[in-house]
Structure formats: structure tokens, C-alpha cells
Structure 1
Amino acid sequence: MTDRALHEALRQKAEQEPLHLPSNFAYTTMRRIQQEQRVRERQERVTAAVTIAVCCLLGIGGIIYFYGEALLRGCRAMVQESEGFSMVPGIAFCFLFLATLNYFLHRHFSKL
């Protein structure tokens, strides 16, 4: 019986004082939605950046762990022998080419 009386009292109050929304209700609601979307997008970007950084660090760590000794020996041999320096221009050219290709592909596909 108490529930019924409570419901009746609430219904009567709602009939006496109708709910009024502010005049700019739609604007403030859309603004709040846009703000929440910006926060969500920022969280996604931060999560993506952290994930990429962790994957890169794990990859570099794995390479060093598995191939570190061989890479160190190769670098020492390249420094000690004069023939080792002949590979540097080729490696520099490949690096420059791949970096330029990465730049142009990123510009092209980031617009899509």
C-alpha cells in the first residue's frame, strides 16, 4: 500500500509541475556528446601510441637478445676491416629510400 501511495503522490506532483527543459537543451547535449567523443578518441590515440611503443621495445629487445652477439661481432668486423665501410653508402641509400617511401605512403593513406 505504501508503494501505491508513493506512486500516486509522484504522479500528482508531475501533473502539477511539468518538467521544463532548458531552451538550449539540444545544443548543450550535442556539446557534451562531442566532448565525450573527443575524450574517447584521445584515449584511443594514447592507447595506440603506448601499444606501438611497447611492441617496438619488445621487438628491439628480442633482436638484441637473440642476435646481439652476432650484430656486435659484425660491427666490430666492419670497423676493423676497410672493406666493411664499402657497405655504408648502400645501406644509407636503402635507408633514405625506405624513409622517403614511408613518408609518401603515410601522406597518401592518412587522407583516406
Structure 2
Amino acid sequence: MTDHEYLDQAEALLARIEAACDAINDETDADIDNQRVGGMITLVFANRSQIVINLQPPLHEVWLAAKSGGYHYRLVDGAWRDTKSGDEFWTVLNREASAQAGLPLRF
């Protein structure tokens, strides 16, 4: 994958996260504050816990940091997969955000 292809895919991922936060806030009582600065989005929950998603262009990865730990993702066959477990990004984001919000969320 070229640097340009990585950036296109990674930026699309961040845009989808932002749009999903807006939808979640409209449809639930989660009240997630999402703040984007460059290639990083910080999701702040009502209990003040955070999830941070940031791009790592030199590695062609996306990193997610949550209360449970840190995860590194690479694009594999069209899906962002954890480099250790192989878990898909959206599965982990849904699980971690639900745990931190205290209610089921679906990005």
C-alpha cells in the first residue's frame, strides 16, 4: 500500500468515527464529545474516560487507546485488523466504547 492509499483509507476511517459519534449522540444518551486534531480523534465519555484513535503514517497503522489497553491496526483485505489478535477495528471500538459509556453502542 502506498502512503497516499493509506492516508485515504485512514482519513475515511476517522471521518466515519466522527459521523458515528454524531449519530450516537442523536440516538442515545451516551453524550460522547469527539475532538479531532489532525490525525487524532479523542472520544470523551460522560464519566470523563477517553478513547484516543490516532494515525501512525510511517507504520501505515491506526492506533486505538482505551481503558483496557492499546491496539494497533493495519488494513488487511479491506478491514482494519489488530496486529496481534486479528480483531476488526469496529468490533473493538464498539466493545470499548460500550464499556466506557456504560451502555451498548454501535459505531
Task: Name the larger-Rg structure.
Answer: 1
TM-score, with normalisation over the residues of structure 1? 0.31
Flag the structure with higher helix content: 1
TM-score, with normalisation over the residues of structure 2? 0.32
Higher relative contact order (CA 8 A, sep 6+): 2
Flag the structure with higher strand content: 2
